Structure 1
């Protein structure tokens, strides 16, 4: 299913559930932070962003490593996402988090864009 409603997006998005591993960490007392990986599912995706549900808030502006695992067709993409917004969901304790996918040399952004394009063409 495709959508281009009025959520300030200029591109179509695919309403689909895709597994996302989000690497977060906290640094108490200035010590090296332990790595924390949260597994989530997308609410929707586009070539330049994705939306997930989490049971905790993330600070807007955070730059986080994301690993997106698609099942049809099978593919894995290592990306960097910037938290653009966080909204409380209708369900208590659940938050919607919007990520903008950033380009850098160590990510699979081009492959991700091609994957989303293929998925949108089939929707």
Structure 2
């Protein structure tokens, strides 16, 4: 039986988790709740190029999913946060198209915000933990 609210950390733990006191993800029952992932380098600093920041955010997300024995196919719900949605849309869609390249797609909510602690893109997800991996 899986422990309730079990934290999940990727193998290369990023400095932001300790600096801001949060877990990258929590397993709860058969669900995985992934905290907002940004395009941070291992030291916690933002990737300066916007498109590469989005790529890194997805890479950070994939590392957490892998650590929880999940994959992109297990994602149910996606929420993304954008500091300049209108001007960032093309870059985000280009990266998104390489990550989620075929249906069925997860549901997705995009939110424009004015601050992300030095970042310009953040992605959080809820995933179902495959049977036997909880």
| TM-score above 0.5 | no
Richer in helix (by share): 2
Which of structures 1 and 2 has the larger relative contact order (alpha carbons within 8 angstroms, sep 6+)? Answer: 2
TM-score by length of 1: 0.30
Richer in strand (by share): 1
TM-score by length of 2: 0.28
